[in-house]
Amino acid sequence: MRHVSVSLVLVAVGLTAAFCVVVLLGFGFRGPGIADTEPALSVATWIDVAQGTGARNIVSAIYLNVRLFDTILEVLVFSVAVLGVHFYLTARGRPEPVESIPESSVVRVAADLLLPLILLIGLYVTVYGHLSPGGGFSGGVIAGTGLLLAAIVLGTKTVTARLGRRLLDRLEWITLLGILIVGLVPAALARTPLVDLLPAGSPGRVGSGGSILLYNGLIGLKVFVGSWVIIRHFVDHRGEI
Amino acid sequence: MTARWVLLALLPFVAGIALLQRRRLYAIIGMGLFSLLLASVFFLSHAPDVAITEAAIGAALATFIYVLAIRKTGRLTVAASEVPGLIERVGEEISGLEWEILDRAAASLGLDLIVRFQPLEDVKTSLLRGEADVGAGGLIPIEENERLLQTPEHLPTARFRVWGPAEEASSRLAPFRGDLSDLIDTARRGAPLAVELDLARFLAVSRYNLDAYRVAKDEDALSYTFLVSASQPDIHRRLTNLLTDLRSSGDLETMIRRHFP
């Protein structure tokens, strides 16, 4: 498992480096001391750019479109954090499994009611990221806390068994590769990240905003799986829930 | 607008409260509260995206991860037999000489101190079962046991034999067992009694009228000790160093005089 992760992270880092080179070349790299001939963009221009994407949430429109490059590096930062937790805690060896302490019936009943609700809110925040506040990052974490709740009630072992440990560990990296490829392909085609892989749609509907929905979905899945990986490692190595 | 400024002004106070908590769990809850307030500030500053993320990560996920991280490692569990002056409950608080020493040791180890009061004979069992890290409450050194470590003596004590009214005098009486409050009840009723007590327990009992009983003091030189589970050599080392430091600096004398005037 460990060498698989190493090769995956190498691939990811390589792809990111390639992505950086392509994007920097595409935008025309301007180092320090070289005069910037283009004037800085005004706020009104940014709003115009954002509205051009068809997304109602201007913040999403900027960080998943014209500033997609920054966002992808941010996703990489999160992946490296997950990888760090995974490596250092795996290196400590698997401790004796600790039986989870059964929670009181209050917690169990409340979890039954709250779990579907939390997952639904996480999905909503992710999918509607381009229309209302939210997006993949927050939606993924919200859904991740839902899994944490499930783990408190059922124990991490049961939750991991139901979801599949290997699938989760791999999904974390597969989604990262997905995000990199989806971001890289348009850039490699010598088009700016403003390219939309999905049709623009009519503003205000779920199927609008072009690629933003796709990126939000991928980031949401990635953050959801990543936060669960962190939680599982902490629980496995630090004691029962 | 006003609400935003009020919340902003609250932030440093909540942060300060979180920092000043002695127990880690309370500090973590304080940090969660800080995140929640910060999320409200973001929301009132027309940054709902940031507010959602702050609430989900700062208030929910990070708080839970901290709780998990401290859940098992952050505790120093003490199994103690309640003895006035050494370790006793006073209302909601715990006080006493041994409590004060353990409190300092826990603080220097960065652990939360949790005391479980038990009958004297259960203290050792708890340690051997791994349910507690340190045993306290008027413990007298025991025979060598490789699963239990002893700390240097912190307070001289003696054996007192208390018997009467109808009980036979004997050179060996059964050592004290159970809860001290039961013994005090027996002594106040003047019921038959034949027990061997250590100094702190004898002092606690002698606050009541012992005229009905006969008392004899053994001349053996004895001292109280803490028992530490052998699986916790770090705690044993820290406690030993702390006791040595307290003795050499004279603080131990001051503490003893405060609890046993």
Dist CA B128 CA A215 (whole Å): 56
Q: Is any Cβ of chain B less than 8 angstroms from the Cβ of A239?
A: yes
Query: Using CA atoms, how far apart are residues A83 and A6, in angstroms rounded to an integer?
Result: 9
Give yes or no for A95 touching B (CB within 8 A).
no
The ipTM of this complex is 0.72
The pLDDT, as a whole number, for residue B188 is 77
User: A136 CB near a chain B CB, below 8 Å?
Assistant: no
Per-residue tokens: B79:
């199994």
Q: Would an 8 Å CB–CB cutoff place B6 in contact with chain A? A: no
CA distance B56 to chain A (A): 6
Read off the pLDDT of residues A172-192 as tens digits, 9 standing for 90 and up: 888 888 888 877 776 666 555
What Cα–Cα distance (Å) separates residue A139 from each residue in A167, A212, A222? Answer: 20, 14, 11
Q: What's the pLDDT tens digit per position in A23-53?
A: 666 555 444 444 455 556 677 777 777 777 7
pLDDT tens by residue, B43-75: 998 888 889 989 988 888 888 878 776 765 667
Closest residue in chain B to residue A141, using alpha carbons only: B56
pLDDT tens digits, one per residue of B91-136: 778 888 888 888 888 887 777 788 888 888 888 888 887 778 888 8
Q: How many Cβ atoms sit within 10 Å of the Cβ of residue B257?
A: 10
Mutation target vs B (from A142, A152, A227, A229; most B CBs, 10 A cutoff): A142
Task: Please determine, for residue B22, whether its predicted confidence score (pLDDT) is greater than 80.
Answer: no
Greatest Cα pair distance, chain B, in angstroms, is 84
- Residues from chain A that touch B36, judged by Cβ atoms under 8 A, are none
Interface test with A, best of B36, B46, B63, B65 (most A CBs within 10 A): B65
Compare A225 and B192 and report the one with higher pLDDT.
Answer: A225
Question: Which of B9 and A2 is assigned the larger pLDDT?
Answer: B9
Query: Tokens 């012992």 — which residue?
Result: B210
Say yes or no for a CB contact (<8 Å) between B49 and A239. Answer: no
Report the residue of chain B nearest A133, measured CA to CA. B49
Q: Nearest to residue A239, comparing CAs of A85, A100, A138?
A: A100
Q: For chain A, 241 residues long, give each residue's pLDDT as a single digit of tens.
A: 455 566 666 777 777 777 767 666 655 544 444 445 555 667 777 777 777 777 788 888 888 877 777 888 888 888 888 888 888 888 777 665 555 555 677 878 888 889 999 999 999 999 998 888 888 899 999 999 998 888 878 777 788 888 887 888 788 888 888 888 877 776 666 555 445 666 667 777 777 777 788 889 999 999 999 988 888 887 777 554 4
Indicate yes or no: CB of B51 within 8 angstroms of CB of A133.
Answer: yes
Within 8 A of A230 by CB-CB distance, chain B residues are 65
pLDDT at residue A192 in the model: 52
**Above pLDDT 90, what percent of chain B?**
12
What is the pLDDT, as a whole number, of residue A189?
64
Strands B134-139 and B193-197: unpaired
B188 has a chain A CB within 8 A of its CB? no
